[in-house]
Chains A and B, each alone.
Chain A
Amino acid sequence: MEVSRGKNTSEWLKRTGKSIRKNYAAYLFLLPKLIFFTLFVAIPVVWAFVLSFQEYRVTESNTWIWLENYKEVFASAAFRQALLNTTIYTAVTVPFNVITALIAATLIHSLGRMAQNFFRAAFYLPTVTSMVIIAMVWRWMYNYEFGLFNYVIGWFGLEPVNWLGQTSTALWAIIMMQMLIPFGVGIILYMAAMSSISDTLYEAATIDGANAFQKWIRITIPMLTPTTIYLTLLSTIGSFQVFTQIILMTGGGPGYATETLVHLIYKTGFRDFEFGLAAAQSVVLFFIILVISVLQYRALNRNN
């Protein structure tokens, strides 16, 4: 047995070697991408895990401190506040944006081609503009003295609000902004998925006497489940990485009122240069995103 297995292995090796030589062109085609992938994705990912168990030193070699970074991460009030803020932000904005995208797509889908193109473009345009620009203009619109918002709420007799400047409203101002930016990707993908639902389903439902709303609930929404799962996962992952708005609009403040996970990682790593701690924070972020993605996928898929 041993002998024949050894023979098989060596034969397999020989065949594989031959196949590799025969296909050398394929490897050459892959080479440029693999070089960049290895240098700037594969090595850094592994390195991030290693760093998270070390104390980084610039001049001497790093010392292994194992779980100390992780202990510090979870003991830190800033991290817990950032985790809480990011979770609230995600829990409010993601369901709201996915549901409004579904409603918007349904309404747009019922229109003629010209109107469809117009509204699709109007809702997608903010998605192609940089979040830097959006954050800058929203900071201006939230301005206490001259901002558009305080003027608009003045119409309803409300007192001006210091939106971004006080602990009680800052996070909610950021959340409201995210809710009022249309989820362009969601609208486009929902519309594409709606066009591919077979008409026969709707015809059958019409014969059974279903009204428009019943058809929407019983046919459209179930048929869109794969899109809903994809969009929920996509926007949850994106939402846990919220950063640009924070650094440009509040800097995480006042206090830690709008601190988020990625902004905290940025501060720890590149303001305080605590590389080991920042690596540990980012590894924790990775696992949070992973666990939530798996849970969401299971929850949404089970209902199907």
Chain B
Amino acid sequence: MIKRFTFNKFIVYLLLTIAAVISLLPLYWVFSTSLQLSSYQDEDMERPVSYVNSTPPKMYPVGITEYFEHWRKARNAEKEGDSEQAAYHREIMDEIVTDTFSGFRRLFTQNSMGAWFFNSVYISVVVTIGILLFDSMAGYVLAKKKFPGRDVIFWLIISTMMIPGQVTLVPMFIMVRELGLMDTHWALIFPDLSMVFGVFLMRQFMFSIPDELIEAAKIDGASEWKTYWKVVLPLARPGLAALGIFTFMNVWNSFLWPIIVLNTAELYTLPVGLKTLQDANLADFKLLMSGAAIAAIPMIIIFIIFQRHFVKGLTLGGVKE
């Protein structure tokens, strides 16, 4: 392959590195603030100081350097045989650890972080499984079967992709209330199962499965369901992986609808919990950033593991067609 562009490599790396730092700085700041010392009794100071609210801001969690400082002093004291001094520094080291993670502890003890996390996980998993099953079933017959009304149904579903979600907020609210689902997790799960993007994606994907394999299964006497379950689904695995990841991400991050239908703290998902946390602790940035960090970690891990599928899913659902 020939070189298409010849830029000065150094300038390219410099520009991209600056951009990458700007891109990742907010996330770094979430983690840095969440671990920052917030009430720490320094040797020379009378009162506890907060390094969260300090001018100039501390660029990294100060506890890390403070911890090693006191560890070194404790070790020196031990060498000199001054056990009292050593115990003093050991105590401060414990305080530093406690203070560093105090934001996370307060989230779980004084707020319902554990419940929010659990709710987000299980709702995202249930919706993702439901979407993968229903959308692959629908996509399969829309791509591979000929039956009256097929094209009408497909275009009806696809045409609603153009309509912004906010249009249906008020009617959905009334409907959910009439069905008695207000302030329950069903109010999140059912509407999420109606998302149509996956039908479009799965139908596109199903076209690439050879008809011969489906025909062969039929000749072998497999029922429609068995053909779908044993032949079609395994072949659709790459498409399912991409759809699964995007569905999980959308549900995990969904915000507008959950803040409308959930009112009980124990039922909140993470984004809703974070909003109420901010409403109640506007200036406690250590606590807020600890919450943000907990909500961010799962998606970051999923992204790092499944990076390939993210790229695949984007290109699959994007430019083609």
Listed stretches B39-47, B63-71, B73-81, B153-161; interface member: B153-161
Q: Are B30 and A226 in contact (CB under 8 A)?
A: no
Q: Are A110 and B170 in contact (CB under 8 A)?
A: no
With A39-B190, A48-B170, A189-B314 given, is the CB distance from A128 to B300 under 8 Å? yes
Within 8 A of A (CB), among B158-178: 160, 162-175
Q: Are A130 and B295 in contact (CB under 8 A)?
A: yes
- Residue in chain A with minimal CB distance to B146: A23
Q: Are A265 and B319 in contact (CB under 8 A)?
A: no
| Docked pose: A298 CA to B156 CA in angstroms | 24
- For the residues of B in contact with A, the DSSP-based class is helix
Q: Does A65 contact B (CB under 8 A)?
A: no
User: Which residues in B have their C-beta under 8 angstroms from that of A111?
Assistant: 12-13, 16
Q: Does A96 contact B (CB under 8 A)?
A: no
What per-residue 1/0 map shows which CB atoms of A274-285 lie under 8 Å from chain B?
010011001101
What's the nearest-Cβ distance from chain A to residue B63, in Å? 18
Q: Does A25 contact B (CB under 8 A)?
A: yes
Listed stretches B88-96, B102-110, B207-215, B249-257; interface member: B249-257
Q: Are B303 and A282 in contact (CB under 8 A)?
A: no
What's the nearest-Cβ distance from chain A to residue B245, in Å? 9
Within 8 A of B (CB), among A109-157: 109-111, 115, 117, 119-126, 128-134, 136-141, 143, 145-148, 151, 154
- Residue in chain B with minimal CB distance to A226: B319
Tell me the A residues contacting B by CB distance below 8 Å: 16, 19-20, 23, 25-27, 29-30, 32-34, 36-37, 39-45, 47-48, 51, 104, 106-111, 115, 117, 119-126, 128-134, 136-141, 143, 145-148, 151, 154, 180-182, 185, 188-189, 192-193, 199, 202-203, 206, 212, 215-216, 220, 226-227, 230, 237, 240-241, 243-244, 247-248, 262, 265-266, 269-270, 275, 278-279, 282-283, 285-286, 289-290, 293
- Residue in chain A with minimal CB distance to B53: A146
Q: Does B235 contact A (CB under 8 A)?
A: no
20 new A-B pairs (CB below 8 Å) besides A30-B142, A130-B296? A20-B147, A29-B224, A33-B134, A33-B157, A39-B190, A107-B12, A107-B15, A109-B5, A111-B16, A125-B27, A126-B24, A132-B253, A138-B26, A140-B288, A147-B57, A151-B57, A182-B22, A199-B4, A226-B319, A278-B170
Q: Are A43 and B175 in contact (CB under 8 A)?
A: yes
Q: Are B296 and A133 in contact (CB under 8 A)?
A: yes
Interface Cβ pair total, 8 Å cutoff: 293
| Docked pose: A148 CA to B169 CA in angstroms | 37
User: Which residues in B have their C-beta under 8 angstroms from that of A262?
Assistant: 166, 256
Within 8 A of A (CB), among B224-250: 224-225, 228, 249
Q: Does B129 contact A (CB under 8 A)?
A: no
| Docked pose: A129 CA to B302 CA in angstroms | 11
Q: Are A44 and B1 in contact (CB under 8 A)?
A: no
Q: Are A106 and B299 in contact (CB under 8 A)?
A: no
Size of the chain B interface, CB-CB below 8 angstroms: 97
Give the residue of A42, A130, A275 whose beta carbon is less than 8 angstroms from that of B299: A130
Q: Which of B134, B146, B157, B196 has the largest number of chain A CB atoms within 10 A?
A: B134
| Docked pose: A122 CA to B17 CA in angstroms | 10
| Docked pose: A126 CA to B52 CA in angstroms | 23
Q: Does B137 contact A (CB under 8 A)?
A: yes
User: Which residues in A have their C-beta under 8 angstroms from that of B117?
Assistant: none
| Docked pose: A192 CA to B285 CA in angstroms | 39
Q: Are A48 and B167 in contact (CB under 8 A)?
A: yes
Q: Are B175 and A124 in contact (CB under 8 A)?
A: no
Q: Are B255 and A29 in contact (CB under 8 A)?
A: no
Would you mind naming 24 contact pairs between A and B with Cβ atoms under 8 Å apart?
Answer: A20-B147, A29-B228, A36-B134, A41-B194, A43-B175, A45-B167, A47-B168, A107-B7, A111-B13, A121-B303, A125-B24, A129-B300, A130-B252, A130-B255, A133-B274, A139-B278, A141-B29, A146-B53, A147-B57, A180-B22, A181-B23, A237-B164, A244-B255, A248-B275
